[in-house]
A and B are shown apart, each in its own frame.
Chain A
């Protein structure tokens, strides 16, 4: 199965493991299914497949958005790291200036 796609729904095949008469049982089951439920099940399968397709598309969109956000995170993390460095650099400069002022005042 392709890991990136949701599986499509399909009709049941009504197998039977009973020896000898197994194929006959299968035929009877298929006939009853055809007579009573097939039209409704086919309709539901089609509807569910459409819903699954929509969900799959939405999930793909969300995955793409997450990747974009992840890339934004990298850029933001770098920007924050740069701002941190600037802040510390300015703090050091300020300390130096204050120390120089203090020395001048003391003199």
Chain B
């Protein structure tokens, strides 16, 4: 049997209008995956907002997979740390398949899908009904203490029952492998694990002056930016403190938040005013549609995408900025640490305001450095994250899983 034949795949994923990075991810990949497979989509999105998806693929509610499962050669689950996967978690328990694990950490997704199921999964991981541990975990969840939660990433059942697992970074792979080593089962065959790059189309670059005019931003300003959901884990306060250090030398510098400020982040504008940056910080809020977000990123000179702690996730926003040829500043942790040094500027995992201000200053001084980093970043995304290339990697992996199981002896 060869790849010329087509496998019938049930693809279980959120799709727009469900607002999730995985919806965008799947919609980017589907047209390319369709070249290799006959795809049927299972999503609780209702009618997909993307007309191309709605026209090209049959879409059913996730729970319908219980009725249809025998029609497919394989099931492909797109799973992340969000309650959008509520029904997928349920189906996955009895109908396992190949899982694309966008983060090897499912605490929030499971808990906000159902506290009862969260308890079930925690006890599954622990192997005993440890109520004191449950209480501790729930407290850590409420405080969003990711470091405390990372000890038990809540992927045990997926690792135990999946036929194959795809992840997007070596960091995520290590987390999955660590969990797999702890598996309670002595099985003849462990799930295969493969790292695939996150697909990212490289859009045509928007001209910076045009983009700035569109958002009413001054043409001569040096603009640092942060995009996507503005969550405390992205360290917006540290970033503003570092930005304040530049004011003496770069009075024309500005800071742009192009994304929704989450409630738990607090009042950034008041903080900026307290630092004397009231007129230097602009908050756009949620920027839609995607083209407008691209324009907002294109209006910036440098994009900051820090993480205080990582749960093994990749950042679509960082890749978008790189695809748009923007230099980015990240911390040297997790997937961010795996980015080639020539494509971004990295600060240490524990670095503070001074260190961050120093790299921001270095980038502010040198337009050549910004240009070089941006070009390398764009080349990296073109090379590694091409959706066609990623779809081919998917195809090879899914065929490998299918054939290795299909041809094995019972």
Contacts and interface: CB of A to CB of B under 8 A. Distances in A.
Interface string A78-107: 100111111011101100000000000000
Interface residues of A, number: 25
Contact of A82 (B94, B124, B131, B405): B405
B62 to A, nearest CB: 16
Interface residues of B, number: 37
A67 B405 contact: no
B127 A67 contact: yes
B120 A70 contact: yes
Interface string B381-410: 000000000000000000000110111101
B1 interface: yes
A67 B128 contact: yes
B123 A63 contact: yes
A75 B93 CA distance: 10
Interface string B113-154: 000000010011001110110110000000000000000000
Which has the most chain B C-beta neighbours within 10 Å: A4, A71, A90? A71
Interface string B317-341: 0000000000000000000000000
B7 to A, nearest CB: 9
B109 interface: no
A78 B410 contact: no
B228 interface: no
A78 B189 CA distance: 11
B117 to A, nearest CB: 11
Contact of A77 (B74, B93, B405): B93
B177 interface: no
A3 interface: yes
A85 B161 contact: no
B269 to A, nearest CB: 41
A89 B407 contact: yes
B40 to A, nearest CB: 15
A86 B120 contact: no
Contact of A86 (B1, B123, B134, B408): B408
Given A86-B406, A89-B407, A3 B161 contact: no
Given A4-B131, A67-B128, A88 B406 contact: yes
A48 interface: no
Nearest to A3: B131
Given A63-B129, A67-B123, A74-B161, A81 B96 contact: yes
A52 to B, nearest CB: 16
B230 interface: no
A74 B405 contact: no
A54 interface: no
Given A78-B162, A82-B163, A60 B405 contact: no
A77 B184 contact: no
A93 B185 CA distance: 31
B93 A85 contact: no
A75 B185 contact: yes
Nearest to B409: A86
B95 A77 contact: yes
Which has the most chain A C-beta neighbours within 10 Å: B163, B406, B407? B406
Given A63-B129, A71-B124, A81 B185 contact: no
A88 B313 CA distance: 35
A71 B73 contact: no
A105 B132 CA distance: 71
Contact of A83 (B123, B160, B410): B410
B406 A89 contact: yes
Contacts of A82: 163, 189, 405, 408
A57 interface: no
B70 interface: yes
Interface string B158-182: 0011110000000000000000000
A86 B405 contact: yes
Contacts of B160: 71, 74-75, 78
A103 B28 CA distance: 42
Contact of A67 (B70, B97, B129, B131): B129
A85 B189 CA distance: 14
Contacts of B189: 82
Pairs A-B, 10 closest by C-beta atoms: A89-B406, A4-B131, A63-B129, A74-B161, A78-B161, A74-B160, A85-B405, A81-B96, A3-B131, A67-B123
Given A3-B134, A63-B123, 11 more contacts: A60-B129, A74-B93, A74-B124, A77-B95, A78-B160, A78-B162, A85-B402, A86-B408, A86-B410, A89-B402, A93-B1
7 contacts: A67-B127, A71-B124, A71-B185, A73-B94, A75-B160, A75-B161, A77-B95
